């Protein structure tokens, strides 16, 4: 049965991108040559737009964040035949402030939206909002989302709501099954591309569950799929770029 390759990544967070992970991902993609490319969001960190941001964060320039997020998106989507970008909660801050803020902050957010839309257009990607209904991408029988739940039960929540799905958001590699009369269903957290030691997470125990990694696989003609996961082991990633049917 014919198949096409796909890859899913999440949470590079702009200038918080982990260099070791990024380098390994590029090498893997050169071998695997994914046909369908899924960016599950938080392309940018936008920490100075974060609720509860410190004075230093609010005063910081976002140009490095913009530049690294933009460059990563262009490189990731380059060569893809089907490209999809799902906005994450960090990316969605632009849309939030464009509709709720006033003055310079509103102007900045509206300009940011134009910049991001231009990047997506140049990457020939389809963009979805951060939204529990409209932000769900379906490729065959697999759904892709940024993620809408936190904590130890995040995978269980996503499995119950979205069934077969992959998600980012929690920066962890985790899976949870759910019963269904249509057969086994599973939600998979695919890990993150960003550094796991970001300053604003330094006192949160959830950081100890975070890992670098990404998901990839094959989507078959009937909509079924084979999903694989790679994760960081010290400074290396181990992945298979060819599979054989038996």
Segment 134-144 shows an average pLDDT of 97
Q: Assess whether pLDDT exceeds 70 at residue 195.
A: yes
Q: Are the beta carbons of 30 and 5 closer than 8 angstroms?
A: no
What average pLDDT does the segment 40-67 reach? 77
* Residue 216 scores a pLDDT above 90: yes
Q: Mean of the pLDDT values across residues 9-35?
A: 97
pLDDT, one tens digit per residue, over 153-193 is 999 999 999 999 999 999 999 999 988 877 789 999 999 99
What gap in Å lies between CA 160 and CA 124, rounded to an integer?
32
Which pLDDT does position 55 carry in this prediction? Answer: 55
Instruction: State residue 53's pLDDT score.
Output: 55
* Domains contained in the chain, CATH given: 3-237 (3.60.21.10)
User: What are the residue ranges of helices labelled H in 101-242?
Assistant: 103-122, 154-162
Q: Is the pLDDT of residue 60 over 70?
A: no
Give residue 56's pLDDT: 60
CA-CA distance, 241 to 226, in Å (whole number)?
Answer: 13
Place of tokens 């380098």: 23
The DSSP H or E segment spanning 211 is none
For the chain, give the mean pLDDT: 91
| pLDDT of 6 above 60 | yes
Is a pLDDT exceeding 70 seen at residue 90? yes
| Percent above pLDDT 70 for the chain | 94
| Residue 49 in this model has a pLDDT that exceeds 80 | no
pTM: 0.94
pLDDT in the model for residue 51: 64
pLDDT of 220 reads 94
Least confident of 51-55, 63-67, 146-150, 151-155: 51-55
Query: How much is the pLDDT for 121?
Result: 97
- What pLDDT score was predicted for residue 242? 80
Nearest of 188, 140, 167 to residue 39 by alpha carbon:
167
For 52-102, give the DSSP string.
Answer: T--HHHHHS--HHHHHHHHHHHHHHHTT-SEEEEE--TTTTHHHHHHHH--
Q: What is the pLDDT of residue 153?
A: 93
């Amino acid at each position: 049965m014919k198949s096409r390759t796909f890859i899913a990544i999440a949470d590079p967070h702009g200038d918080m991108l982990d260099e070791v992970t990024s380098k390994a991902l590029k090498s893997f993609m050169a071998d695997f040559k994914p046909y369908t490319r899924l960016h599950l969001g938080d392309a940018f960190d936008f920490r100075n737009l974060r609720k509860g941001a410190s004075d230093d964060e609010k005063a910081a320039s976002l140009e490095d964040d913009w530049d690294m997020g933009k460059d990563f998106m262009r490189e990731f989507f380059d060569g893809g035949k089907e490209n999809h970008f799902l906005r994450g909660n960090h990316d969605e801050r632009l849309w939030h402030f464009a509709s709720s803020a006033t003055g310079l902050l509103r102007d900045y957010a509206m300009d940011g939206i134009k910049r991001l839309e231009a990047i997506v257009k140049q990457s020939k990607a389809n963009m979805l909002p951060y939204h529990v209904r409209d932000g769900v991408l379906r490729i065959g029988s697999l759904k892709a989302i940024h993620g809408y739940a936190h904590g130890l039960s995040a995978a269980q929540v996503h499995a119950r709501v979205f069934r077969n799905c992959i998600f980012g958001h929690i920066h962890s590699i985790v899976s949870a099954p759910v019963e269904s009369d249509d057969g086994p269903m599973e939600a998979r957290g695919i890990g993150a591309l960003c550094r796991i030691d970001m300053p604003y997470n330094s006192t949160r125990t959830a950081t100890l569950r975070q890992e670098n990694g990404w998901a990839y696989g094959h989507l078959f003609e009937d909509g079924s799929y084979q999903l694989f996961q790679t994760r960081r082991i010290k400074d290396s990633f181990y992945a298979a770029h060819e599979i054989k049917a038996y």
